[in-house]
């Protein structure tokens, strides 16, 4: 329930009349002097009496400029949201052009395919500037450092290369110069003297000094394993890890032993091997056909009495026995034809005449020994040829 009286400070009377939206309901009618109190003195509190009579209300009710501005702002906001939603739906599948700053300025690259655009060249730029350009284009950047003669923090390479098609979120690897490698500082090392030491002791002394040893064997009358020379010489200054050459004596080879080759021809292979092995020689065996019994040495090389070095090999030809051959059957042939066939088969021919009274047997082979069609080790075939009496 509203209070019957409202007390306001006197200095706010005019402001209430101008800004209060419902000031008409509390304003006193000019001709109603009976209900109006006497005029208060300046700067005193004014008491207004609310008129309880029903006053017709106006529709729409009067509003001030502040409310109108608020309503207009809300309507404008709703229209703006609707436009943004419509624009977002139309362009949902379209990637906006990407602006990438090139080393010489700035430019815009249009996507070559859905979500793709051309990668710019950042090689040669400072890494800070290159990273900034790539990240502004929506790319991820990984930096790796490598020693180089180029200025420190300069981009040496990029992967992918420039002009490649990339998409937002792709990783770009930049290899950045970390500057020149510092030159190692080495402390000079004095070469120790090892001449006259054994090779093993010399190597230990050189390694203890922070150096490496390389051994070369040379013939010398000094005891084997003795260091004869070194390079660099004792007392020289060199760097740690340098190689020191050591010339080390090796034993001279013993003079070769000369051996006379024994005569083993005519003996068995087993006896020949036994003799050669006793003298420090070896045997090389070759099988050959011979009239000698199988297993007999028929030839040797070097010959008997020749001088050879210990360990040399002697070539031995060993018989496999006489070679058997099939004898052609030439009976019934004339003498010349039979002789030609036998000699062509590797046989010698011997002819024995036999008198005959049959003219058809004159000059014809009547018999042969060995008989035709047999295998024999003999090399001579005897033919019996008929002779007309």
Q: Is residue 84 part of a domain?
A: no
CATH of the domain at 362: 3.30.10.20
DSSP state of 288: E
Q: Measuring CA to CA, which residue among 266, 322, 314 is closest to residue 294? A: 322
d(C-alpha 111, C-alpha 388), whole Å: 123
Secondary structure (3-state) at 204: helix
Query: In terms of domains, do 110 and 167 share one?
Result: yes
Q: Determine the pLDDT at residue 64.
A: 60
Q: Is residue 90 part of a domain?
A: no
Secondary structure (3-state) at 352: strand
Cis peptide before 60 (omega within 30 of 0): yes
Count of the separate structural domains present in the chain: 5
Query: In terms of domains, do 347 and 314 share one?
Result: no
Among the candidates 152, 177, 202, a domain finishes at: 177
Q: Is residue 154 part of a domain?
A: yes
Query: In terms of domains, do 312 and 333 share one?
Result: no
Residue-wise pLDDT for 340-356, tens only, equals: 988 888 888 999 999 88
Q: Is residue 36 part of a domain?
A: yes
Among the candidates 300, 319, 338, a domain finishes at: 319
249-258 average pLDDT score? 78
Predicted confidence (pLDDT) at residue 295 exceeds the cutoff of 60: yes
d(C-alpha 323, C-alpha 375), whole Å: 10
Query: In terms of domains, do 104 and 173 share one?
Result: yes
pTM of the model: 0.28
Q: Is residue 171 part of a domain?
A: yes
141-151 average pLDDT score? 91
pLDDT more than 90, % of the chain: 39
Name the residue with higher pLDDT: 321 or 268.
Answer: 268
Residue-wise pLDDT for 6-30, tens only, equals: 444 444 444 444 444 444 444 444 4
Q: How confident is the model at residue 211 (pLDDT cuts 50, 70, 90)?
A: very high
Predicted confidence (pLDDT) at residue 157 exceeds the cutoff of 80: yes
Predicted confidence (pLDDT) at residue 369 exceeds the cutoff of 80: yes
Query: In terms of domains, do 204 and 149 share one?
Result: no
Among the candidates 208, 233, 250, a domain finishes at: 250
Q: Determine the pLDDT at residue 11.
A: 44
Q: How confident is the prediction for the chain on average, in pLDDT?
A: 78
Q: Is residue 106 part of a domain?
A: yes
Q: Determine the pLDDT at residue 60.
A: 53
Q: Determine the pLDDT at residue 114.
A: 54
Query: In terms of domains, do 313 and 339 share one?
Result: no
Name the residue with higher pLDDT: 323 or 34.
Answer: 323
Domain that holds residue 227: 189-250
Q: Is residue 77 part of a domain?
A: no
Q: What are phi and psi of 301, to 5 degrees?
A: -150, 125
128-155 average pLDDT score? 92
d(C-alpha 228, C-alpha 235), whole Å: 17
Residue-wise pLDDT for 31-54, tens only, equals: 444 444 444 444 444 444 444 444
Predicted confidence (pLDDT) at residue 147 exceeds the cutoff of 70: yes
Q: Determine the pLDDT at residue 320.
A: 84
CA atoms within 13 A on the CB side of 345: 24
Q: Determine the pLDDT at residue 67.
A: 63
d(C-alpha 213, C-alpha 207), whole Å: 7
Query: In terms of domains, do 217 and 148 share one?
Result: no
């Amino acid at each position: 329930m509203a209070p019957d009286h409202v007390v306001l400070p006197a200095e706010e009377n005019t402001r209430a009349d101008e800004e209060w939206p419902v000031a008409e309901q509390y304003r006193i009618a000019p001709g109603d002097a009976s209900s109006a109190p006497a005029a208060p003195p300046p700067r005193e509190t004014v008491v207004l009496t609310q008129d309880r009579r029903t006053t017709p209300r106006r529709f729409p009710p009067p509003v001030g400029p502040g409310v109108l501005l608020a309503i207009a702002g809300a309507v404008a906001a709703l229209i703006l949201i609707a436009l943004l939603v419509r624009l977002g739906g139309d362009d949902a599948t379209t990637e906006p052009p990407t602006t990438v700053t090139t080393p010489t300025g700035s430019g815009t690259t249009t996507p070559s395919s859905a979500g793709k655009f051309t990668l710019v060249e950042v090689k040669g730029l400072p890494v800070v500037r290159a990273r900034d350009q790539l990240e502004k284009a929506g790319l991820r950047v990984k930096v790796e450092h490598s020693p180089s003669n180029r200025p420190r923090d300069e981009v040496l390479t990029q992967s992918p290369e420039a002009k490649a098609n990339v998409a937002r979120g792709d990783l770009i690897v930049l290899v950045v110069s970390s500057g020149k490698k510092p030159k190692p500082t080495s402390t000079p090392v004095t070469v120790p003297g090892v001449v006259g030491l054994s090779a093993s002791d010399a190597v230990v002394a050189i390694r203890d000094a922070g150096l490496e040893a390389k051994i070369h064997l040379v013939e010398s009358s000094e005891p084997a394993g003795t260091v004869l020379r070194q390079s660099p010489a004792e007392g020289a200054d060199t760097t740690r890890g340098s190689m020191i050459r050591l010339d080390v004596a090796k034993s001279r080879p013993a003079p070769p032993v000369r051996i006379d080759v024994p005569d083993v021809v005519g003996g068995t292979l087993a006896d020949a091997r036994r003799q050669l092995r006793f003298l420090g020689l070896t045997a090389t065996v070759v099988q050959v056909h011979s009239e000698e019994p199988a297993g007999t040495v028929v030839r040797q090389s070097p010959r008997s009495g020749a001088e050879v070095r210990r360990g040399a090999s002697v070539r031995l030809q060993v018989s496999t026995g006489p070679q058997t051959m099939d004898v052609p059957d030439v009976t019934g042939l004339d003498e010349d034809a039979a002789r030609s066939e036998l000699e062509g088969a590797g046989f010698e021919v011997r002819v024995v005449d036999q008198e005959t009274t049959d003219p058809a047997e004159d000059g014809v082979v009547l018999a042969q020994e060995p008989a035709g069609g047999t295998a024999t080790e003999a090399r001579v075939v005897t033919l019996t040829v008929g002779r007309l009496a």
